[in-house]
């Protein structure tokens, strides 16, 4: 009962902080979005040249550092890795393509819905459908194999990178690129954004909050513990949006969103399917990397490279809708996910027969 209370309170706190972040400067309905913030950070590092989405987002750095600090304090930090790293990199790449077709990660999907963006309903249906596809293969033995103990230095790399990036941002380093217009130019004060990330990262580390895992557990085990956290996030953000006058219901003219229901659905289906195969949504991967999980760090690298490709090759959607390149990319991703899922089951079967 105490754990259930903690995840509900934690989810509500994250939802409210996300709305406050928007009031202080973040783009509308984008108080927290792991996919968008990784994309912006990739742009700030010069990995893509889209001028309106280039800014190191302190929130994602805070997610990693908050999870790191709490896991070390609770003696839960453990450096482990080696579980199909190249496949995890590819899955991270694919998840990002799906997220940028929809224009948001699962967390932003909830926050968009809380802001009145009904396009997120199609995204949620797609996300759940992708999760069900992943569950189908999990039930047939899909696995990315076990991981192994690594040196502690391996686990420290992501927190160290996060500290370095924040210092560069804080001193306004010329090594970084900063958007002067568009969503990348819109942000809350950097120390507030870092605090939001630290708090959210600590909450997620303690409660294991994960949207993909929540729907998976609810479907497989009738366990609604993780889902309750996202319901609380939705309710907290919804109330905060109504109180602050930011709740604007409808499909049209929603901020950083498009109204093509089919591709909103399919984009999040890709995101959900890939997240299930990885064992967690993008937000969960950040938290796990802070706890020393090297496999999640590799997944995050895949997300970064995926974000760069999405803008360099015009896969990413915009407020005008999906691009032809993006449509092709999402269909190809669905095919690749099916192949990875099938071969992941077949590999497990072959290993069992060999033993």
Predicted structure pTM score: 0.96
Kindly tell me if the per-residue pLDDT of 6 is higher than 80.
yes
Give me the mean pLDDT over the 16-29 stretch.
98
Distance CA 40, CA 48 (A): 9
- In percent, the amount of the chain with pLDDT more than 70 equals 97
pLDDT tens readout for residues 273-289? 999 999 999 999 999 99
347 pLDDT band, cuts 50/70/90, is low
CA distance 211 to 133: 15
Residue pLDDT, tens place only, 180-200: 999 999 999 999 999 999 999
Mean pLDDT within 61-89: 97
| Range list of H helices, the chain | 2-23, 34-44, 58-73, 85-102, 106-114, 119-138, 152-170, 190-207, 211-221, 225-243, 261-278, 282-290, 294-312, 324-354
Greater model confidence, 19 or 349 = 19
* Residue 4 CB neighbours (<10 A): 13
Give the pair of three-digit tokens for residue 75: 């003696």
For the cut 70, the answer to whether the pLDDT of residue 123 exceeds it is yes
**Average pLDDT taken over every residue of the chain:** 96
Per-residue pLDDT, averaged over 197-211, amounts to: 97
The yes-or-no verdict on residue 350 having pLDDT over 60 is no
Q: Is the pLDDT of residue 354 over 70?
A: no
**What is the rounded average pLDDT of the residues 39-66?**
98
Give 163-177 pLDDT, tens digit per residue: 999 999 999 999 999
pLDDT at residue 222 greater than cutoff 80: yes
- pLDDT the model gives residue 348: 54
pLDDT at 351: 55
Q: What is the pLDDT of residue 238?
A: 98
Give the three-state DSSP class for 332. Answer: helix
pLDDT of residue 2: 75
Check pLDDT > 50 for residue 355: no
- The torsion of the CA quartet 334, 338, 341, 344, rounded to 10 degrees, works out to -120
Percent of the chain with pLDDT strictly greater than 90:
96
């Amino acid at each position: 009962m105490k754990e259930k209370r903690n995840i509900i309170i934690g989810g509500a706190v994250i939802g409210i902080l996300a709305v406050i972040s928007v009031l202080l400067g973040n783009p509308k309905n984008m108080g927290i979005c792991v996919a968008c913030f990784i994309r912006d950070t990739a742009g700030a590092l010069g990995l893509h040249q889209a001028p309106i989405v280039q800014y190191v987002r302190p929130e994602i750095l805070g997610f990693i550092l908050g999870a790191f600090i709490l896991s070390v304090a609770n003696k839960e930090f453990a450096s482990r890795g080696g579980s199909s790293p190249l496949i995890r990199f590819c899955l991270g790449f694919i998840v990002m393509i799906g997220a940028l077709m929809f224009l948001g990660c699962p967390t932003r999907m909830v926050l968009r819905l809380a802001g009145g963006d009904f396009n997120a309903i199609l995204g949620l249906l797609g996300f759940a459908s992708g999760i069900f596809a992943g569950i189908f293969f999990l039930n047939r033995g899909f696995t990315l194999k076990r991981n192994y103990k690594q040196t502690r230095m391996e686990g420290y790399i992501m927190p160290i990178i996060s500290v370095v990036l924040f210092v560069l941002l804080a001193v306004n380093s010329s090594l970084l690129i900063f958007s002067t217009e568009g969503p990348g130019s819109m942000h809350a004060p950097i120390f507030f954004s870092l605090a939001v990330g630290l708090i959210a990262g600590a909450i997620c580390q303690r409660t294991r909050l994960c949207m993909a895992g929540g729907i998976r557990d609810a479907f497989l085990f009738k366990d609604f513990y993780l889902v309750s956290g996202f319901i609380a996030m939705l309710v907290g953000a919804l109330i905060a949006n109504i109180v602050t006058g930011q709740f604007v219901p409808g499909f049209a003219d929603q901020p950083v969103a498009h109204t093509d229901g089919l591709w909103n659905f399919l984009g999040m289906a890709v995101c959900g399917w890939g997240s299930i195969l990885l064992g967690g949504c993008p937000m969960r991967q950040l938290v796990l990397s802070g706890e020393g999980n090297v496999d999640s760090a590799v997944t995050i690298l895949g997300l970064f490279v995926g974000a760069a490709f999405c803008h360099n090759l015009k896969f990413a959607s915009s407020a005008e809708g999906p691009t032809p390149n993006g449509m092709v990319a999402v269909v190809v991703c669905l095919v690749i996910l099916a192949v990875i899922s099938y071969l992941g089951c077949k590999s497990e079967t072959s290993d069992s027969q060999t033993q």
